[in-house]
Structure 1
Amino acid sequence: MKSCPQKIDFYLLIPFYNNLPGLLHSLQSVLYDADKYAVVIVDDGSTHPVTLEDVYRQISKNISVEIIQLPYNKGITIALNTGLQWIMQQNKASFVARLDCGDICTPERFYRQVTFLQEHPQIDLVGSWCIFKDFTTNVAFKYITPTQQKQIKRGMYFRNIFIHPTVMWRCDAMKENKLYPETYPDAEDYGFFYQFLLKGECAIIPEYLVTCEINHKGISLNSRKKQLNSRIKVVREYGRNRVLRYLGVLKLRLLLIIPYNLVFAMKRVLYGV
């Protein structure tokens, strides 16, 4: 890893598993001052581990990159927490941002989020709107969420307002050993973001700052029932409003019986681009 300066704006945390083309595609979309951020890649036991040589063939060697190799595939929650624990030990950054292999950032994404958090010290977590896109078929739809604190808290009973690859949060907000919970398989991010909501303020930037890849082999599609059951558990355990908690669980139970193809078709009709 190229040595980091004493203080940087953010670490970009990326879990990796056998997807070098997706990783490089994502890294090429990241635009920010090279000496003000660093990339942390957690290789979750890939059969073909990623190397610094792989990364630096595609991005500037002026960018700091740390690769953490796990000895075998432990799952995304452990991979993410391993990365977070390493980041907190460094104590060099103000913020942590997330990105997944295959997802693409707009050129202004990180400038907008860093500036937003610097100008709003009361906000611990910020996300953005995004576009979901199948890069093979070019089918795409918008993901639009509330932007006001009250509506965000209400909306979280019914869906995850914070799409994982769009978020940035304060390192200081994790000082209470805040990690991704391991009790919500395939919905660890939902539980993680709820922790921020219960203890501080969060926000959404109403701009499409990330294009998220629709991966039909991904967790959200292959493990949909497990994910929905985990989301039900999150709402039950973190939701404080009894009525909204009941309605949120009801919606998630309905999604369990509705075929995903139908849900996907409705999204294309309502939010297609």
Structure 2
Amino acid sequence: MNALSDVAVLIPAFNGQADMERTLASFSESSTVYVLIVDDGSTPPLVAPFIDGMHIDILRMPQNGGIERALQAGIDELSKRGVRYAARIDAGDLATPARLAKQRAYMEVHPNVAVLGMWTHVVSKTGAPLFDLTPPTDPATLRRTMLARTCFTHPSLMLRVDAVREAGNYRARYRAAEDLDLLLHLLERYDGANLPEFGLYYELNEGSISASKRRRQIVSTLRLQMRYFRAMNPPDWIGIARSFAHLMLPYRMLRSLKARLLSQKETR
């Protein structure tokens, strides 16, 4: 029996055929890996590559509508197919061996966890290491600090499909911050956690949402922070202050500062 038969990798993609193929080829699992690529109006349309040990389907959107709508359509499609767990990753990122099996095993034992991330190596476009993201792992700390820092790396997540739909699915209400919107909805009803091991190589590049749509993302994040603000929770104040700082300071300066601080932390 395929141990990953109820898991599907969910990749929204707009163009970037080569990056998508490189990402899929990075998966190394002992069972067949099922993949749903949501082609968000690529020109030319994306083509499913042949990769041994993978079953790849493509859901084509009628036109480019943005990552929020692509993810929403992907979750709805997986729900129709009876898939229990959606494993997120983006074209250009790489998975570590047995990532899916490790995440599924944890979620099977922890039924109240609806979202499970992993620690992340952040690398440049050429694969050079930049810094690591090692957010908290336990549900209580994540819930307390959710508005203060990056508690989950979105492309490292495994999500319970039914829980995502119950929480309202991905939405376009908070553009470029659709992941935070969904996570905050999920944590109102369920727990979230991170496995304390690395599951992803996240490619940081200037064309990412965080760079090209930075202001929109920060404004959406601030709106969410204000909506979920808890005056008696000090980390919420810190998160709002950080968002205002991000609005004021140049992206490259913030990225350089973050990399320097994380590197110093790792050498202590």
TM-score clears 0.5: yes
Q: Once the 2 structures are TM-superposed, how far is the Cα of residue 94 of structure 1 from its aligned partner?
A: 2.3
User: Cα RMSD between the aligned structures?
Assistant: 1.9
* SS of corresponding position for 2:9: strand
Q: Which residue number corresponds to residue 47 of structure 1?
A: 43
CA distance in 1, matches of 2:139, 2:229: 15
Sequence identity percentage: 30
Question: Bigger CA drift: 190-199 or 172-181?
Answer: 172-181
Whether the 8 Å CA contact 2:120–2:156 is kept in 1: the answer is: yes
Q: Once the 2 structures are TM-superposed, how far is the Cα of residue 128 of structure 1 from its aligned partner?
A: 1.0
Runs of 5+ in structure 2 lacking a partner? none
C-alpha distance after superposition, 1:166-224 (max 9, x if no partner): 00022231352631121111110011111111111111111111000012111111111
Match of 1:89 among 68, 80, 83: 80
* SS of corresponding position for 1:12: strand
C-alpha distance after superposition, 1:101-150 (max 9, x if no partner): 00001102112101111122221111011011103272411112111222
* SS of corresponding position for 1:127: strand
Match of 1:66 among 40, 47, 57: 57
Tell me which amino acid in the other structure corresponds to 1:85: D
TM-score, L = length of structure 1: 0.89
The aligned runs of 1:227-266 (5 Å cut-off) are 227-241=217-231, 243-244=233-234, 245-266=236-257
Tell me which amino acid in the other structure corresponds to 1:266: L
Q: Once the 2 structures are TM-superposed, how far is the Cα of residue 267 of structure 1 from its aligned partner?
A: 2.3
Flag the 1:25–1:150 CA change in 2: closer, same or farther, 3 A: same
Q: Once the 2 structures are TM-superposed, how far is the Cα of residue 46 of structure 1 from its aligned partner?
A: 0.7
* SS of corresponding position for 2:176: coil
CA distance in 2, matches of 1:50, 1:153: 38
C-alpha distance after superposition, 1:46-83 (max 9, x if no partner): 1111123xx11xx12x5221101112111000011111
Q: Which residue number corresponds to residue 168 of structure 1?
A: 158
Tell me which amino acid in the other structure corresponds to 1:63: M
Q: Once the 2 structures are TM-superposed, how far is the Cα of residue 237 of structure 1 from its aligned partner?
A: 1.8
TM-score, L = length of structure 2: 0.91
Q: Which residue number corresponds to residue 204 of structure 2?
A: 214
The aligned runs of 1:1-273 (5 Å cut-off) are 8-35=5-32, 37-52=33-48, 55-56=49-50, 59-60=51-52, 62-91=53-82, 93-136=83-126, 138-176=128-166, 178-241=168-231, 243-244=233-234, 245-272=236-263
Tell me which amino acid in the other structure corresponds to 1:112: K
CA distance in 2, matches of 1:32, 1:137: 22
Tell me which amino acid in the other structure corresponds to 2:16: N
CA distance in 2, matches of 1:101, 1:194: 24
* SS of corresponding position for 1:31: coil
Whether the 8 Å CA contact 2:94–2:201 is kept in 1: the answer is: yes
Question: Bigger CA drift: 253-262 or 237-246?
Answer: 237-246
CA distance in 2, matches of 1:64, 1:77: 24
C-alpha distance after superposition, 1:143-171 (max 9, x if no partner): 12111222111221112311111000222
